[in-house]
Amino acid sequence: MSKLPLPLNPPVRTLMGPGPSAIHPRVLAALSAPTVGHLDPYYLQLMNEMQDMLRQVFRTENPMTMAVSATGSAGMESAVVNLIEPGDRMVVCVNGVFGARMADVAGRAGAEVTRIDRPWGQVFTPDDLKDTLAKVKPKVVGIVMAETSTGAWQPVPEIAKLVHDAGAMLIVDAVTALGGVPIEVDAWNIDVIYSGSQKCLSCPPGLAPISFNPRAMETILARKTKVQSWYLDVTMLAQYWGSERVYHHTAPINMTYGLHEALRLVLEEGLESSFARHALQHRALKAGLAAIGIRYAAQEGHQLPQLNAVFVPEGVNDAAVRNGLLNRFGIEIGGGLGDFKGKAWRIGLMGYGARSANVLLFLSALEQLLAEQGYKFDHGASIAAANAVYAG
């Protein structure tokens, strides 16, 4: 008989990577509440409350607003496979890993995919799409609002207008955006938008908030073929999340508790206050990094406050710094992906993790590790610059 593993004893980390983010203590407490059945009257009441709170956070009145029982990638897949039938044309804007992933998902769903590529760290303008939309005449256009691989913050309103003027529907990836920067689903006329529980909502990974507007639902209900995925078929999920409460799958009850409390926290703080807090921590971190010569990877004016992608300084060992942060200071940050592999650090200031204590802890640890590698800078400058932002 094999020896039993040791009891669970995970290390305490300061999570400052691209996700998951730090979990609020109230969310952790909610996760440990007694489990009820997924059709229990109490749970059905929580579903209603969670839908209402998700509508407030997405700023939408869409009836079909819910949380897919899976991670944010399943939100992406759900958005695509419900709108796309084999042979449909889809244009996908790619300026990082997650735009490329959406294009892959669309191809697997049978779409004729046309990619529009921009350099990593850059964003799209209507001029980048105009000619392709006129030529391809797509059914759907997909774009990532907060590109987690680069820290680029994509403006959506003008793109949305262009897409709709071209007669197409718009899917928006808001996995890293929701709760950290403004989102106006109804005002921007977004057809489908999805997110994840583990970023600015400060809940563990496992649920994917998603919202379909009436036009998207009409398109789905008029499909000639069945949705490729049984599990993600919104025509069936609508019967579970709607008034009928028809059994579809066993929902993750305790994860729902967690997201319910996470949404309460966001709305308790107030969306505008949440956005302002994320922006303040970003400004302090950016000032601190600039003071020691570290540059941002995303286009100026389009840098996400909650996901700060910066270039590794020349002559500095990327992995050594990240390992030092983790093993000596208990701080997790992310390395670069794709085009930025080995060239960038991704520093998350998401949800409960967007606090001055984390910014100052990270900067002081980073200065020590950089000094050990012989990197030349004015010692203490990053802390002073961050504190100047807070004082201001």
pLDDT digits (tens, 9 = 90+) for 314-367: 999 999 999 999 999 999 999 999 999 999 999 999 999 999 999 999 999 999
Q: What is the pLDDT of residues 79-93, one digit of tens each?
A: 999 999 999 999 999
Return the CATH number of 25-267, one of 3.40.640.10, 3.40.50.720, 3.30.470.10, 3.40.50.150.
Answer: 3.40.640.10
What's this model's pTM, rounded to 2 decimal places? Answer: 0.97
- Coil, strand or helix at 15: strand
Average pLDDT over residues 277-282: 98
Mean pLDDT across 129-137: 98
Indicate the domain borders of the chain.
25-267, 270-391
Please state whether 278 falls in left (phi above 0), alpha (psi between -120 and 50) or beta: alpha
Whole-number Å distance between alpha carbons of 174 and 54:
13
**Predicted pLDDT of residue 62:** 98
CA atoms of 29 and 117, how far apart (whole Å):
43
- Residue 139: half-sphere exposure toward Cβ, Cα within 13 Å: 20
Model confidence at 27, pLDDT cuts 50, 70, 90, reads very high
Which residues, 6+ apart, have CB-to-CB distance to 326 below 8 Å? 13, 332
**Radius of gyration (C-alpha) of the chain in whole angstroms:** 21
365-390 pLDDT tens trace: 999 999 999 999 999 999 999 999 99
CA proximity to 176, closest of 358, 349, 363: 349
Q: What is the pLDDT of residues 159-194, one digit of tens each?
A: 999 999 999 999 999 999 999 999 999 999 999 999
Q: Which residues pair with 68 in a beta bridge?
A: 208
The predicted structure's pLDDT at residue 366 = 98
Q: Where are the beta strands (DSSP E) in 179-227?
A: 192-194, 208-212
Q: Is the dihedral of CA 211, 49, 69, 202 positive or negative?
A: positive
Residue 159: the pLDDT is 98
Q: In the 8-state DSSP scheme, what is residue 2?
A: P
Residue 174 in tokens: 């808001």
Cα dihedral 66, 16, 100, 171, rounded to 10, equals 30
Average pLDDT, the chain: 97
C-alpha torsion 272→278→283→285, nearest 10: 170
Closest C-alpha among 313, 326, 297 to residue 382: 313
The architecture in CATH of the region 270-391 reads Alpha-Beta Complex (3.90)
- Residues counted in the chain: 392
d(CA 336, CA 334) in angstroms, rounded, equals 7
Q: How confident is the model at residue 109 (pLDDT cuts 50, 70, 90)?
A: very high
CA pair distance 242, 374, nearest whole angstrom: 60
Cα–Cα distance for residue pair 116/134, rounded to 1 Å: 13
Q: What is the pLDDT of residue 294?
A: 98
Cα(332)–Cα(323) distance, integer angstroms: 9
